[in-house]
Structure 1
Amino acid sequence: MAAPQCKYDDHDFPTTAPEAQPGHPGHTTPEQDAKVEQLRAELEQLGYTERLDTLTLLRFLRARKFDVAASKTMFVDCEKWRKDFGTDELVRTFDYTEKPQVFQYYPQYYHKTDKDGRPVYIEKLGKIDLTAMYKITTAERMLQNLVTEYEKLADPRLPACSRKAGKLMETCCTIMDLKGVGITSVPSVYGYLKQASAISQNYYPERLGKLYLINAPWGFSSVFSVVKGFLDPVTVNKIHVLGSNYKKELLAQVPVENLPVEFGGTCQCSGGCELSDMGPWQEDEWSTTPKWAVPKEEQKSEEAVEKEVEAAEAAQPTA
């Protein structure tokens, strides 16, 4: 059952999740719909007017097992962080000019889609060399880039993928290449990854669809089996730990033509897959201008125009 539409639900892409999972858009119970309304009402009382659409609120509710109070706390904390970090302005103005140089030491990029229609996100953790990177960039700019890419994932990447797939895409298929990573890596690398992971979990909940850890070093599976005990079973089912013989399983999820050659696919983007940002979000048929790129004044004028059109249509005499 779909939650009732509200003034915040002005999406121009499919909003029904492809799988009938409890608590996902288009597959909610009356009780879950009521919790969406309750959370929205309580947030409105606190003065919030943005990001109150049903899709967003459902993500926060799922992240806290539909505990409205806990979801509310998570949302409020997220909004405070967004304000402190300057997220809304950052996504409009951030220019990662050093990206080609940084990617020599830490490639992390979105590239095409998996067989379900999700964006594919790739990181090569084994190439991380923070000492070399900090001669090119700073930890602050790396996190700013991470946040900017998360914002672009929300819009335009996922909406474009949803339009092309004809169903709602809310998550990514992530590939983390562990080739070259030792069980005991430099603590500073873990320090950055811990910060990046905290941003993902706390402020961009429910964005992981599948995670493939490939080229896992000897002993990693044993370590991960211990970690699994602390993770939510839903999360555990999304994670696949694979050694060097990963290609068959990975290609079962990602079309061979969408996977870069170095991972066993056939894709060779001009200028390199790492910097191409290829995907439905680059295709005119599926992409639209992201909302964050449209000045608020123009957004309001568009809404005003829509209301005028609706009023005019309502005033026309029926045949």
Structure 2
Amino acid sequence: MVQKYQSPVRVYKYPFELVMAAYEKRFPTCPQIPVFLGSEVLRESRSPDGAVHVVERSCRLRVDAPRLLRKIAGVEHVVFVQRNVLNWKERTLLIEAHNETFASRVVVHENCSYTVSPGPSRRDPLPAGTPAPSPLSRPGPRQGACRGKEVIEHYLNELTSQGTSHIPRWTPALGREEDACGQAGQDPGSLEADRPSSAPCPALEMVSSDGDKLDADYIERCLGHLTPMQESCLIQLRRWLQETHKGKIPKDEHILRFLRARDFHVDKAREMLCQSLSWRKQQQVDLLLQTWRPPALLEEFYAGGWHYQDTDGRPLYILRLGQMDTKGLMKAVGEEALLRHVLSVNEEGQKRCEGNTKQFGRPISSWTCLLDLEGLNMRHLWRPGVKALLRMIEVVQDNYPETLGRLLIVRAPRVFPVLWTLISPFINENTRQKFLICSGSNYLGPGGLVDYLDKDLIPDFLGGESVCNVPEGGLVPKSLYLTEEEQERADQLRQWSETYHSASVLRGAPHEVAVEILEGESVITWDFDILRGDVVFSLYHTRQTPKPGPREQLIDRGWVLGRDYSRVEAPLVCREGESIQGSHVTRWPGVYLLQWQMHSPPGSVACSLPGVDDVLTALHSPGPKCKLLYYCEVLASEDFRGSMSSLESCTSGFSQLSAATSASSSGQSHSSSLVSR
């Protein structure tokens, strides 16, 4: 079995020559690395001009294992052979190492490189960065890189204390320099400009094969302590996203949360992160803080809000669950509005963490929640309310992992164990460990809130001195409850949103969905509701592979109808409020394109340049003009008895969300049917 480990990039803010001098001080012995027993030079050579120095050493490392195990194995140390190629002219150091001990059983190859990163000018002296772990710092893959950097910095400090703070760059001999200048047609004096000056130095770094890097200062300032293995996992996942993910790449802090949630198992974290990114795109969560405005009723009766920070600098969110009428809120605004509000709280929490990271100068990636349960009673155990709470927990755990740093529970009543029994199985173990319960009435004393909050920030309703602006909650008047019809419509919207997709259609930017058909005869079925505006629905066929364009547009503007693609369904004008179902029996394999485009009123003037007017109009459009929800599926022709989804959609209430359903219209052909409710 082959195992591969890729070290993260380390950076030194020192000139290359000084780093090399510190590196050489590690030989023949290095007290800073206890497992390194010593080394001897096997072979050494230099190029004629002295620019390249090659050293091959035999290095002995103590076996880091219990004494009994070492006796059983019959070895006290292992031998590695290390070959260093130092090029003073190119300013690179390449290190290759392999094991001699147990070489017949297991083979270990290790490669490391020091290189100078491109600076603002080739005339500037270039400072330096750090390598991956070498055999001389092999306590283990999780420790090697850190130990290697600590050792180099130790010897750099030693050189500085001895008065060596600058080492001139290598230059060729005078005769060779003149020859080189003569061959290049240059004045020998022009080479002086390439020698060291007092200009600022860019960084030299150990560059991995793909060029990824993490600056040590950036890690310490924004990400916090990471082992080399954890850095490597972050680099791997970030590189995979850059190569495969279309759209915005998450920040390192966001990626790191998913890695921590899956104990740095890259494959599991990648799967979880991809599902979350798809969910964020579908739910348009990235725009939530700009678009979500909680109903006035929520602002008045939702007893939660932000309140400064805890002693660790984490943003503090206070939730007075015991004072909140969860049943009344659900009946007044619906489950979806509550979920959107909870998501907005989590989005705001991440934003505040970034702000506190900049404010306090250290990485803060999670927030603290203070949960006050005074007033909790059996009303809070209302079954639909508990079910909604479990759904919110699931959504938050899947998409905001490792954002909760601590949950402080105070004033828990006797009914709390019942609630905890209901919800605790749905909370993962890592999150449950962050729950801290301050039992009894002495929650202000030692072991209570004062251990986590500054005294002057403890809320006044808990006996502190800080004025807290979190709403007090209270019972929601029944006169504000949704009617049964409104509640049913909200429930349908929630259920359908889990199956149906939403789309916005702009003028000149239709929404298109590609369906690939491998067999000649299959059945494509669709069901969509027009929530806003009027659209024209069409179905096309092509044997070419469409390439995604802007705004989900797949039909290339260079395609010619009748040559590159053909229309297999006559266009159908769909008015606002209509609900359309239909099907099409395919004749040929290939790609079928379902298209929704904005309906243009009769008499509109076409532009002399096809497509230009549409593009300009779309770019200057103030926002989406049409909105729809749709669902489509492909059935084998022998199994087709009418789409089950289309049949079930007869109970749809989407048409009631906008205007009253207009008169039915239908379009029929030998192979299709379109039905409008």
TM over 0.5: yes
Counterparts of 1:51-62 in structure 2, within 5 Å, are 51-62=249-260
Q: Is the alpha carbon distance of 1:131 and 1:190 closer, same or farther for their aligned partners in structure 2, counting shifts above 3 Å? A: closer
1:198 and 1:230 map into 2 onto residues whose CA distance is 7
2:345 and 2:252 map into 1 onto residues whose CA distance is 22
Work out whether 1:178 is the aligned partner of 2:377.
no
Task: State TM-score, norm by structure 2.
Answer: 0.35
1:66 pairs with 259, 264, 267, which one?
264
8 Å Cα contact 1:3-1:26 kept in structure 2: no
Q: Is the alpha carbon distance of 1:7 and 1:92 closer, same or farther for their aligned partners in structure 2, counting shifts above 3 Å? A: farther
8 Å Cα contact 1:114-1:120 kept in structure 2: yes
Work out whether 1:121 is the aligned partner of 2:317.
yes
Worse-superposed segment, 185-194 or 232-241: 232-241
Work out whether 1:87 is the aligned partner of 2:297.
no
How far off its partner does 1:233 sit? 6.0
**SS state at 2:458 partner:** coil
**SS state at 2:455 partner:** coil
Counterparts of 1:135-284 in structure 2, within 5 Å, are 136-155=332-351, 157-182=352-377, 185-218=381-414, 220=416, 234-245=430-441, 246-248=443-445, 249-268=448-467, 272-274=469-471
8 Å Cα contact 1:3-1:28 kept in structure 2: no
8 Å Cα contact 1:2-1:26 kept in structure 2: no
1:187 and 1:31 map into 2 onto residues whose CA distance is 45
Worse-superposed segment, 183-192 or 71-80: 183-192
Counterpart in the other structure of 2:244: 46
How far off its partner does 1:52 sit? 3.3
How far off its partner does 1:14 sit? 7.6
1:265 and 1:209 map into 2 onto residues whose CA distance is 22
Work out whether 1:133 is the aligned partner of 2:333.
no
8 Å Cα contact 1:121-1:173 kept in structure 2: yes
Q: Is the alpha carbon distance of 1:104 and 1:226 closer, same or farther for their aligned partners in structure 2, counting shifts above 3 Å? A: closer
**SS state at 1:16 partner:** helix
How far off its partner does 1:259 sit? 2.4
How far off its partner does 1:180 sit? 2.1
Higher relative contact order (CA 8 A, sep 6+): 1
8 Å Cα contact 2:309-2:315 kept in structure 1: yes
- Kindly provide the CA deviation profile for residues 53-106 of structure 1, in whole angstroms up to 9, marking residues without a partner as x: 3222111100001111110111111011111211123221111241xx335543
1:117 and 1:198 map into 2 onto residues whose CA distance is 27
1:229 and 1:85 map into 2 onto residues whose CA distance is 27
8 Å Cα contact 2:304-2:471 kept in structure 1: yes
Counterparts of 1:269-308 in structure 2, within 5 Å, are 272-274=469-471
2:227 pairs with 29, 32, 42, which one?
29
How far off its partner does 1:240 sit? 1.0
- Kindly provide the CA deviation profile for residues 204-248 of structure 1, in whole angstroms up to 9, marking residues without a partner as x: 111111111111122746986998899766544422112342222
Q: Which has the higher strand share?
A: 2
Task: State TM-score, norm by structure 1.
Answer: 0.70
2:418 and 2:327 map into 1 onto residues whose CA distance is 30
Give the greater-gyration-radius structure (CA): 2
Q: Is the alpha carbon distance of 1:232 and 1:89 closer, same or farther for their aligned partners in structure 2, counting shifts above 3 Å? A: closer
Partner amino acid, structure 2, of 1:89: L
Counterpart in the other structure of 1:102: 298
**SS state at 2:223 partner:** coil
1:230 and 1:146 map into 2 onto residues whose CA distance is 17
CA RMSD of aligned residues (A): 3.4
Q: Is the alpha carbon distance of 1:103 and 1:187 closer, same or farther for their aligned partners in structure 2, counting shifts above 3 Å? A: farther
1:151 and 1:200 map into 2 onto residues whose CA distance is 11
Partner amino acid, structure 1, of 2:274: V
Counterpart in the other structure of 2:37: none
Q: Is the alpha carbon distance of 1:49 and 1:230 closer, same or farther for their aligned partners in structure 2, counting shifts above 3 Å? A: closer
8 Å Cα contact 1:106-1:127 kept in structure 2: no
Partner amino acid, structure 1, of 2:461: E
Partner amino acid, structure 2, of 1:178: L
How far off its partner does 1:45 sit? 3.1
1:191 and 1:124 map into 2 onto residues whose CA distance is 19
Q: Is the alpha carbon distance of 1:222 and 1:3 closer, same or farther for their aligned partners in structure 2, counting shifts above 3 Å? A: farther
2:464 and 2:418 map into 1 onto residues whose CA distance is 29
1:73 and 1:263 map into 2 onto residues whose CA distance is 42
- Kindly provide the CA deviation profile for residues 101-142 of structure 1, in whole angstroms up to 9, marking residues without a partner as x: 335543121111111111111112223324432454232122
Q: Is the alpha carbon distance of 1:219 and 1:185 closer, same or farther for their aligned partners in structure 2, counting shifts above 3 Å? A: closer
Q: Is the alpha carbon distance of 1:198 and 1:223 closer, same or farther for their aligned partners in structure 2, counting shifts above 3 Å? A: closer
Partner amino acid, structure 2, of 1:88: D
What 5-or-longer segments of structure 2 have no aligned partner? Answer: 1-6, 12-210, 473-677
2:319 and 2:261 map into 1 onto residues whose CA distance is 24
1:190 and 1:49 map into 2 onto residues whose CA distance is 36
